[in-house]
Amino acid sequence: MSIFTFLADEISEQANQCGRQAQQCQQTVSNIRQGSSSIVSFQSWTGQGAQSFVRQLMTKLIPQTMELIAAISGFGGSITKALDIMTQADKVVDGIAGQMSDIFDQVF
């Protein structure tokens, strides 16, 4: 049995969870864009306050949310890369342990 086998599924699930969180954030950004365009298009809210609100959404909230999405996605990707490295290392260690076991079996 490999050293990290019992952790791999849980770690992979956490990486997948990061992906799902990024998708949810992306959907939220899409909803915000759609909602802000309806403010402007349908003139449901007019005046300087409406213009300022939409400007804040477009110049602050959405770009910062996109940065958050990139960070979440990057974190999930890093988890996956780390898991791949651990899996490869585990295979190497497992191979060495198997060779040692074979040597001991030949000696004893």
Calculate the alpha carbon distances from 88 to 16, 41, 84, 93 in Å.
20, 55, 6, 9
Contact 8, 83 (CB under 8 A): yes
Q: Out of 1.10.287.1060, 2.60.120.310, 3.40.640.10, 1.10.230.10, which CATH number does the structure's domain 7-107 have?
A: 1.10.287.1060
Q: What is the pTM of this model?
A: 0.70
The rounded distance, in Å, linking the Cα atoms of 47 and 77 is: 44
| Tens digit of each residue's pLDDT (9 = 90 or more) over 1-54 | 555 566 788 889 999 999 999 999 999 999 998 888 887 777 778 888 888 988
Chain centroid, CA 4 distance in Å: 21
Contact 39, 45 (CB under 8 A): yes
